């Protein structure tokens, strides 16, 4: 992406050779013949330069106010002024804005070098802002850890796509599988990495506000629209807009989005001017958009437009062997955050982690590890707080086709078979003092054995205990386990 320079030069300037010289450089120049024209370009047409060069004689109060307005609207970019004599208070305000002020006599070469430095400074400041806004997201390809074929292939596809100048990309995948994470990696390593990465979750915004969030609005264009607002499409200019949960976008906004993608321009809500943008759109959904198209809930034309490139983020259950890398990484991350210094992961934790089917994918894993690290003692991950069996029972009832793939064959568990039994066979206790804790314990173990047809490994996983603990309690409660016990 070429950097862009807004060059404000009025007719009184003596440096007429400057514009053609700048236009020959390796950046895009837009000329404004007055400060008012520059303000209009930015306010009405959403123009977002990386640097602004000002060559205007005798800046007056109104012009300086307009420059300050531009600064408020744009946020991150740098100014270069060709210095003129100004009254002290006005000079102070120009100093506040300046990245550099250059004094006469000017050399075109020096001006160009300064402009290039200003652009570089803008790029760096943008990156830092992006990094601190999402510092939890590491955005290198290596942040997708793992050596399984599934994960290697996913990394390879991302690396390949990051170098393709695509205008749209559809990211499919289950909830929490890392669609946002993959989108961030693609942007941060892609051709638009020096520009903004803006995220919009269509499900998190009230339906009636989706349009104005996306396209912006003019003051008073609808009840509650107080001032003028630059939409996310405009804010993402030259960069990437990531539309998460796009299946939740209202149909009429879908139509306007399609038009904006095709024409690379749009109008703010209540606006009269067309605003040109050059934005790469990533869209993600964990819904079946194809089915939504059939049901008339998603526009077919937009679906095809977004699907020019598509990727599928794999579910965690397809690369469970990589838990051996993912878990230590997350444990050390949360140890560092909490100051807990967890240095070992007990076998019983591994048994649970590997046997589980992970319907909530990496997000669920993160949450389980965070909980267990925070409640760990003596430097050991607290396996009791993984709480996987309980969530497994609730979450996986809807997933009859799910398969389990453990690296340790002994730990494999046929979750689905056992779940169907649990669904019809819920265990409830009345907490009225009529049962002792020991009696409840005995009944839980009996139930787990019944569900797993006396398979001790599977029963131990269901109750989050080790096989040794379970065997000890079976003896203690004098429970009968048949020939099938493991």
Chain positions contacting ligand ATP, by CB under 6 A: 137, 143-145, 173, 175-181, 244, 284, 286, 362-363, 366
Q: How far is the CB of 139 from ligand ATP (least distance, A)?
A: 10
Strands in 51-55's sheet, in edge-to-edge order, are 28-32, 4-9, 51-55, 78-82, 98-102
Nearer to ligand ATP (CB atom), residue 145 or residue 479: 145
Nearer to ligand ATP (CB atom), residue 270 or residue 328: 328
Q: How far is the CB of 183 from ligand ATP (least distance, A)?
A: 7
Show the tokens assigned to 23. Answer: 């236009």
Nearer to ligand ATP (CB atom), residue 130 or residue 218: 130
Q: How far is the CB of 330 from ligand ATP (least distance, A)?
A: 7
Show the tokens assigned to 355. Answer: 């046997």
Q: How far is the CB of 363 from ligand ATP (least distance, A)?
A: 4
Residue 447's beta-bridge partner residues?
A: none
Q: How many helices (H) does the chain have, and how many strands (E)? A: 20, 14
Q: How far is the CB of 208 from ligand ATP (least distance, A)?
A: 22
Question: What's the per-residue H, E or C state across 89-135?
Answer: HHHHHHHHHEEEEECCCCCHHHHHHHHHHHHHHHHHHHHHHHHHHCC
Choose among 259, 260, 273: nearest CA to 232: 260
Cα(76)–Cα(29) distance, rounded to whole angstroms? Answer: 18
Choose among 254, 241, 180, 267: nearest CA to 210: 254
Q: Cβ distance 376 to 382 under 8 Å? A: yes
Nearer to ligand ATP (CB atom), residue 138 or residue 273: 138
- The phi, psi pair for 178, rounded to 5°, reads 115, 30
Nearer to ligand ATP (CB atom), residue 13 or residue 175: 175
Question: Looking at beta carbons, which residue is closest to ligand ATP?
Answer: 178
Q: How far is the CB of 360 from ligand ATP (least distance, A)?
A: 9
Q: How far is the CB of 290 from ligand ATP (least distance, A)?
A: 17
Q: How far is the CB of 333 from ligand ATP (least distance, A)?
A: 9
Q: How far is the CB of 158 from ligand ATP (least distance, A)?
A: 11
Nearer to ligand ATP (CB atom), residue 42 or residue 327: 327
Strands in 197-201's sheet, in edge-to-edge order, are 197-201, 240-244, 280-285, 168-173, 310-313
Q: What angle do CA 344, 350, 351 make, to 5 degrees?
A: 145
Q: Cβ distance 198 to 235 under 8 Å? A: yes
Q: How far is the CB of 288 from ligand ATP (least distance, A)?
A: 13
Nearer to ligand ATP (CB atom), residue 286 or residue 351: 286
Q: Cβ distance 372 to 365 under 8 Å? A: no
Half-sphere CA count of 305, side-chain side, radius 13 A: 18
Nearer to ligand ATP (CB atom), residue 178 or residue 239: 178
Nearer to ligand ATP (CB atom), residue 186 or residue 362: 362
Give the helix, strand, coil percentages of the chain, each rounded to 5: 50, 15, 35
Nearer to ligand ATP (CB atom), residue 137 or residue 273: 137
Choose among 207, 303, 300: nearest CA to 248: 207
């Amino acid at each position: 992406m070429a950097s862009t320079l807004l060059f404000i030069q009025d007719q009184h300037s003596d440096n007429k050779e400057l514009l053609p010289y700048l236009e020959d450089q390796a950046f895009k120049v837009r000329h404004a013949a007055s400060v008012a024209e520059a303000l209009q370009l930015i306010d009405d047409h959403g123009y977002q330069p990386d640097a602004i060069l000002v060559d205007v004689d005798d800046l007056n109060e109104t012009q300086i106010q307009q420059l300050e307005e531009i600064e408020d609207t744009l946020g991150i970019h740098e100014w270069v002024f060709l210095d003129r004599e100004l009254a002290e208070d006005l000079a102070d305000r120009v100093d506040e804005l300046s990245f550099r002020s250059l004094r006469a006599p000017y050399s075109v070469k020096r001006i160009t070098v300064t402009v290039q430095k200003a652009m570089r400074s803008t790029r760096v400041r943008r990156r830092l802002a992006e990094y601190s806004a999402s510092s939890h997201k590491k955005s290198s390809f290596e942040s997708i850890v793992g050596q399984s074929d599934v994960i290697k292939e996913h990394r390879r596809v991302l690396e390949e796509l990051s170098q393709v100048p695509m205008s749209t990309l559809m990211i499919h995948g289950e909830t929490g599988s890392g669609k946002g994470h993959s989108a961030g990696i693609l942007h941060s390593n892609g051709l638009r990495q020096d520009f903004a990465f803006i995220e919009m979750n269509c499900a998190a915004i009230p339906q009636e506000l989706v349009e104005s969030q996306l396209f912006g609005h003019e003051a008073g264009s609808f009840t509650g629209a107080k001032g003028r607002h630059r939409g996310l499409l405009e804010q993402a200019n030259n960069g990437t807009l990531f539309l998460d949960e796009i299946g939740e976008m209202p149909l009429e906004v879908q139509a306007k989005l399609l038009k904006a993608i095709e024409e690379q321009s749009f109008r703010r809500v209540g606006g009269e001017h067309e605003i040109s943008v050059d934005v790469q759109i990533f869209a993600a959904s964990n819904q079946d958009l194809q089915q939504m198209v059939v049901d008339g809930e998603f526009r077919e034309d937009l679906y095809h437009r977004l699907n020019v490139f598509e990727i599928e983020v794999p579910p965690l259950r397809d690369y469970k062997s990589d838990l051996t890398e993912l878990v230590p990484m997350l444990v050390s991350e949360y140890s560092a955050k909490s100051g807990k210094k967890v240095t070992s992961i007990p076998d019983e934790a591994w048994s649970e982690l590997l046997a589980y089917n992970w319907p909530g994918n990496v997000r669920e894993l993160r949450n389980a590890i965070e909980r267990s690290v925070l409640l760990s003692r003596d430097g050991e991950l607290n396996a009791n707080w993984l709480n996987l069996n309980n969530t497994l029972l609730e979450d996986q009832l809807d997933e009859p086709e799910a398969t389990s793939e453990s690296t340790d064959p002994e730990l494999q568990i046929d979750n689905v078979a056992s779940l169907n039994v649990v669904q019809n066979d819920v265990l409830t206790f009345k907490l009225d003092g009529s049962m002792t804790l020991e009696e409840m314990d005995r009944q839980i173990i009996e139930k787990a054995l019944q569900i797993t047809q006396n398979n001790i490994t599977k029963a131990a996983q269901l109750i989050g205990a080790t096989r040794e603990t379970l065997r000890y309690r079976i003896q203690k409660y004098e429970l009968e386990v048949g020939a099938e016990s493991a």
